[in-house]
Amino acid sequence: MPSEPQGPARPPEPPARRDPPSAARPATRLHPFSLVRGISLRQIAQTVPGALVAASALGGIGSPAAVVPVLLVLVALRVVAYLRHTYELSGESVVERRGILQRRERTVDLGRVQQVEVDQGLLDRLVGTAVVRLETASDAGESELELRVVSVEEASRLRASLPGRDVAGGQQPDGEELVHLPLAHIALAAVTGPRLLAIPVVVGGLVGFLVDLGLVEESGEAVVERLGGAGVGVVAALALAVLVVAVVVALVLGLLRDGDFRIRRVGDDLHVRRGLLATRDAVVPIARLQQVAVQHSLVRRALGFGSLVLYSAGGSAGQGSLERRLTVPLARRSELTPLALRLLGDAGPWPAVEPHPRRARPRVVARWWRRLALPAAVGLLLLTRAVPVTGALIVVALVAFAAAATGLGVLEHRQLASGRTTRLVVARGGALSIREVVAPTGKVQGTRVRSSPFQRRRDLATLVVHIAGPGGAVVMPDLGRTACAEHQSALERTPVSAGSAAP
């Protein structure tokens, strides 16, 4: 296996390890609060069926004779699990041991630890504990360690004793502040974001559910008939109420989650902190960043804003998202590209993007036809349940579908563009909501050029640039075949990586 090279700006010799005597510690238990905090959803899912079976065997669910012994057993099991869960820190690795019947010993080599996250939920804040998560570069799914929960002092001690992570626990160290979002921006982001749709979707689902149960009249006509003229006002008022509730909920949730959003650059790492009551605190090494997506949703674009998503690799896809996908909720449009470049470690100028060939337009339109065909069919089906089917309706629906698909295809084709410098590769797409993805050429794992017969006829192909991590591949659809080949050939050579501290 190739040995892992050091990150770009680290000195050639191994990083000076802060290894004070207190760093090495013998097997320690978690904070007692983890008796409660340490219960995970998975554990609940595993024990509930067994508990229910036991309870019904003992005397029926709900009867005290059954519930009390079962509860006592569960509590006893939890206490034993807590007592048997230990972690041990030596100069070189962290060892976690847990399990009652099935013991698990997990060793994480400190040299491989790439990210350290310290989270405090609301309860943690009150009690004085925090969740500490260690993640490594291995994407193989092992080697992720989560200590839920330890005391805040222990969390800072752990953080301080991990090599390279020279962070004084909890406080923001010196460094350059790259992002600090004012509350107003967070609020705006919350109100224009996807969470806004959560309430209406839930309500819509509920109504559908009620209809299926037969509690509400199925035919729209019958409902209108019943309510009469005054009913329309009632429905309108209800809709408005739902909208207001949706806005308020989205606002509150957004502020709680992202309030006081800050990113500082400290050396080769990005320190991210966000959250009003429950804070999330993460260190993301710039070298771990795989790609950055700049998003302009329709509404935000109209207001002159956009958002950024940072994707970093490393660590399993299991519990603890650990900022593998970190969203900067809002930024002014003019600041988006410079910010993305700075977050990538001053990786050089944004590549000049060139639009994809004109002859690609029919292909892009065809793609939208395919994308919308199924949802349109489903929509039409639902519509026929509410409104009587006539020939005119079908025609109108088909025309609407054709117009929408073609319109979106044309819009997207106008946005399709891509470009490359020696250090970065960029692809832009999207019809209403535009998305521009930039990745350092140093992160390219491999490339694929794919062509369908239709594309070949027009001398087009699609280039897929594979990047590790949750962001997926950078895709340049319907690009000229020569351009694809050039990109592929250029990306095969040993590239220069982004992320060095030097400009």
Looking at the Cβ atoms of 129 and 143, the one nearer to another protein is: 143
Interaction site with another protein (CB under 8 A)? 1-10, 12, 137, 139, 287-288, 290, 313-314, 442-453, 456, 464, 466-469, 472-473, 482, 485-486, 488-489, 492-497, 499-500
Alpha-carbon distance of 334 to 339, in angstroms, equals 9
| Residue 500 backbone dihedrals phi, psi, to 5 degrees | -80, 150
- Minimum CB–partner distance for residue 480 and another protein (Å): 12
8 Å CB contact between 88 and 30: no
Looking at the Cβ atoms of 190 and 465, the one nearer to another protein is: 465
Long-range contacts of 195-202 (CB under 8 A, 24+ apart): 195/250, 195/253, 195/254, 196/246, 196/247, 196/250, 197/246, 198/246, 198/249, 198/250, 199/242, 199/245, 199/246, 199/249, 199/250, 200/242, 200/243, 200/246
- Minimum CB–partner distance for residue 21 and another protein (Å): 31
Looking at the Cβ atoms of 51 and 364, the one nearer to another protein is: 364
Looking at the Cβ atoms of 30 and 468, the one nearer to another protein is: 468
Residues in contact with 315: Cβ distance below 8 Å, sequence separation at least 6, in sequence order: 114, 115, 135, 136, 137, 138, 139, 143, 144, 322, 324
- Minimum CB–partner distance for residue 288 and another protein (Å): 8
Point out which residues pair with 310 in neighbouring strands.
292, 326
The candidate with the shortest Cα–Cα distance to 94, out of 154, 37, 147, 139, is 147
Alpha-carbon distance of 91 to 434, in angstroms, equals 48
Residues in contact with 235: Cβ distance below 8 Å, sequence separation at least 6, in sequence order: 227
8 Å CB contact between 311 and 293: yes
Looking at the Cβ atoms of 7 and 38, the one nearer to another protein is: 7
- Minimum CB–partner distance for residue 281 and another protein (Å): 23
- Minimum CB–partner distance for residue 489 and another protein (Å): 5
Looking at the Cβ atoms of 225 and 492, the one nearer to another protein is: 492
8 Å CB contact between 157 and 18: no
- Minimum CB–partner distance for residue 477 and another protein (Å): 14
Alpha-carbon distance of 186 to 37, in angstroms, equals 29
Residues in contact with 210: Cβ distance below 8 Å, sequence separation at least 6, in sequence order: 216
- Minimum CB–partner distance for residue 299 and another protein (Å): 32
Looking at the Cβ atoms of 4 and 174, the one nearer to another protein is: 4
- Minimum CB–partner distance for residue 460 and another protein (Å): 12
Looking at the Cβ atoms of 157 and 448, the one nearer to another protein is: 448
Looking at the Cβ atoms of 156 and 291, the one nearer to another protein is: 291
As a whole number of Å, the end-to-end CA separation of the chain is: 32
Structure tokens at 5: 């090279």
- Minimum CB–partner distance for residue 24 and another protein (Å): 27
Looking at the Cβ atoms of 329 and 345, the one nearer to another protein is: 345
- Minimum CB–partner distance for residue 492 and another protein (Å): 5
The candidate with the shortest Cα–Cα distance to 38, out of 92, 96, 90, is 96
Scanning the structure block, which residue is given the tokens 């760093």? 23
